[in-house]
Structure 1
Amino acid sequence: MTVSVKDVAARAGVSVGTVSNVLNRPEKVNETTARRVHDAIADLGFVRNDAARQLREGRSRSIGLVVLDVANPFFTDLARGAENRAAENGLSVLLGNSDENDEREKAYLELFEEQRVHGVLISPRGEVDESFERIRRRGTPIVLVDRDGTEHGLSSVALDDVAGGYLAVSHLIASGRRRIAFVGGPVSIRQVSDRLAGARKAAAEHPEVTLDIILADSLSVLAGRAVGEELRERPEGDRPDAVFAANDLLAIGILQALVMLGHVRVPEDIALIGYDDISFSATAVIPLSSVRQPSELIGYTAVDLLMREAEQRGDYAPEHVVFQPELVVRASTVSPEGGREGAAAAEALPAAH
């Protein structure tokens, strides 16, 4: 049998209004009365009807978060930052994994809107279209995470990925590499295309440098391993002398194929740099150089933007926070013999811009 608020009120010897105040406005109830109500709730096993409360208030105390790949530690850390900040505001986070699939992304957006969430944080797979703005106009705030929303009238928190790609390839060039491969895909993911744009910009500043584009099926370890196996089987003269992978998962897969499953030395034969600086990067069999994103801070900041929009509603002007990337140099791009030279080259890199 379902226990109602009336049952709790009868057990505690108080009015229904007092029970409601204990649940929603506890500061209005004295400590002794509140204790009787909580004892009655525990005795009867009462569970509040949150759906009914949502209908009264117009929205829930949950935030929807849609990420590209929940298996990627970058998004796990981003979610942790969002969850920590949401908890500080009395909110919870509902996580949806689009798995780089447009239809799943659309389904999560529809579900979260139907659930009347407090707002939605989303890392879109493709281009941001009118559907995002329609959801916002209907009353559900949306903040783009890991994507700049300046062009779309939506608040956003992101890293300058063009600067990040520029930083990665500039480091490889400063370390003496000239035949560089970019590995990433699909390029319909904006983060991938921006990192490639930065890589091209850096390579274009050095006429002797070539940039080969190798498309991967996904941004996963297995996709990286497939690319690494293909590179490993090439004749030595046809291999690049450096690889910039669009994220660390790809880079780790490439590293496994080259070193653990093959005979190619990293960084002596091929220098390798990734992107995101996930926790696994520093502990890889050869510690991985990477471009660091402040993943938890991105999630934390996105919740702040969403809360401000939810409070101001129609008077809210979109905000845009763009963090700058940080180069983290480890053994995968600087050999022990060239450590001092490589470190000096890294320090001499132009500022990301």
Structure 2
Amino acid sequence: MSVSVRDVAAAASVSVGTVSNVLNHPGKVAPETVARVQAAIEKLGFVRNDAARQLRAGKSRSIGMVVLDVGNPFFTDVARGAEDRAAEDGFTLLLGNSDEKLAREGSYLDLFEEQRVHGILITPVGEDLTRLGRVQANGTPAVLVDREADRAQFSSVSVDDVAGGYLAVRHLIEQGKRRIAFVGGPHGLRQVQDRLAGARKAVAEAPGVQLELIDTDSLSVLQGRAAGEALQSREAVHRPDGVFAANDLLAMGVLQALHMLGDIRIPDDIALIGYDDIGFASAAVVPLSSIRQPAALIGYTAVDLMLREAAAGAGFEREHVVFQPELVVRQSTSGA
């Protein structure tokens, strides 16, 4: 049988209101009374019903977060930064993985709204943010993560992915590469679109450089390996001499297929660069050049914006933080 607040009050010889104050506003209660109530709680094994409390308050002490791929170390680091900032104000982070699927993304939005989360952080799968807009219209602030907002409807924290794509391909060109392949997909993801746009910009500035697109169904190691195996099967004269992968997981897969399973030398035959600079990049069999994003800072900043918006209410002016990417050169492109 569950122990109620009334049971605690009777055991401590205080009112129900006093027990409530001890649980929620202990500073309003005399220290000796707090000690007596806490002793009764421990003796009876009382567990507070946070769900009921949240229903009365209208909001919980939780923040919902939906990312594209929880298996990607980049998003793990983003979530860690968000969790650290949430904890500073006594909030917990509820993490959902959309797996790049719209239906799963929608299910998490439904769940978070039912749970009356304090706010939502999301890296959306597609361009249609209508469902997220309804959540925000119902009073739950939402912040886009790793994605710049197109409208004034949402705050956002992102990295300039066009600049990142440009940095990656310009670096390959500076290494003397002239036949460059972009490996990435699905192209419905804004991050893929922007990184490809940056790659095209760099190629447009370099006469004689060609850009080939190799589409993938997801941003995974397996898809990168499949792309690498396809390149491995070509005759040498028909292979690119530089590859820009849309993220490090793809790049790791390409590296496995070309270097570990084949006889292609990295970077002598094909130079390879990824994106995100996850922890595994520097530890790869050929340390991977990459475009670094401040992952933990992205998550930390997103929670900061969300909490400010929740506190300000309807009058909050949306904020957009855009970090600049950084080129990290390692052996997969320089050979040094």
1:169 to partner: Cα distance: 0.3
1:340 matched residue in structure 2:
none
* SS of alignment partner, residue 180 of structure 1: strand
* SS of alignment partner, residue 207 of structure 1: coil
- Is 1:110 aligned to 2:131, yes or no? no
- Is 1:149 aligned to 2:149, yes or no? yes
Q: Which one-letter code corresponds to 1:325 in the other structure?
A: P
1:30 to partner: Cα distance: 2.3
2:6 matched residue in structure 1:
6
CA distance in 1, matches of 2:290, 2:13: 63
1:234 matched residue in structure 2:
234
1:74-223 superposed matches below 5 A: 74-151=74-151, 153-223=153-223
Preserved CA contact (<8 Å) 2:106 2:131: no
CA distance in 2, matches of 1:272, 1:45: 59
Higher mean Cα deviation, 277-286 or 34-43?
Answer: 34-43
1:142 to partner: Cα distance: 0.3
Higher mean Cα deviation, 10-19 or 61-70?
Answer: 10-19
CA distance in 2, matches of 1:145, 1:46: 39
Preserved CA contact (<8 Å) 1:219 1:249: yes
TM-score (norm: length of structure 2): 0.99
1:84 to partner: Cα distance: 0.5
* SS of alignment partner, residue 195 of structure 2: helix
- Name structure 2 gaps, 5 residues minimum: none
CA distance in 2, matches of 1:63, 1:275: 28
**Over residues 38-64 of structure 1, what are the superposed CA-to-partner deviations in whole Å (9 max), with x where a residue is unaligned?**
121111111111111111111100000
- Is 1:282 aligned to 2:288, yes or no? no
What is the root-mean-square deviation of aligned Cα atoms in Å?
Answer: 0.8
2:327 matched residue in structure 1:
327
CA distance in 2, matches of 1:180, 1:241: 6
CA distance in 2, matches of 1:316, 1:150: 17
- Name structure 1 gaps, 5 residues minimum: 337-353
**Over residues 2-37 of structure 1, what are the superposed CA-to-partner deviations in whole Å (9 max), with x where a residue is unaligned?**
110011111112111111011111111222221221
* SS of alignment partner, residue 333 of structure 2: coil
User: Could you list the runs of 4 or more consecutive aligned residues of structure 1 that deviate by over 3 angstroms after TM superposition?
Assistant: none
* SS of alignment partner, residue 332 of structure 2: coil
1:175 to partner: Cα distance: 1.0
1:128 to partner: Cα distance: 3.7
* SS of alignment partner, residue 46 of structure 1: coil
1:349 matched residue in structure 2:
none
1:248 to partner: Cα distance: 0.2
Q: Which one-letter code corresponds to 1:284 in the other structure?
A: A
- Is 1:272 aligned to 2:299, yes or no? no
Higher mean Cα deviation, 123-132 or 184-193?
Answer: 123-132
Q: Which one-letter code corresponds to 1:19 in the other structure?
A: V
Q: Which one-letter code corresponds to 1:328 in the other structure?
A: V
Preserved CA contact (<8 Å) 1:228 1:258: yes
* SS of alignment partner, residue 288 of structure 1: coil
* SS of alignment partner, residue 120 of structure 2: strand
* SS of alignment partner, residue 199 of structure 1: helix
**Over residues 256-280 of structure 1, what are the superposed CA-to-partner deviations in whole Å (9 max), with x where a residue is unaligned?**
1111111001001000000000000
2:45 matched residue in structure 1:
45
Preserved CA contact (<8 Å) 1:21 1:29: yes
- Is 1:314 aligned to 2:325, yes or no? no
Q: Which one-letter code corresponds to 1:278 in the other structure?
A: I
CA distance in 2, matches of 1:131, 1:149: 15
1:224 matched residue in structure 2:
224
* SS of alignment partner, residue 151 of structure 1: coil
Number of residue pairs aligned between Structure 1 and Structure 2: 336
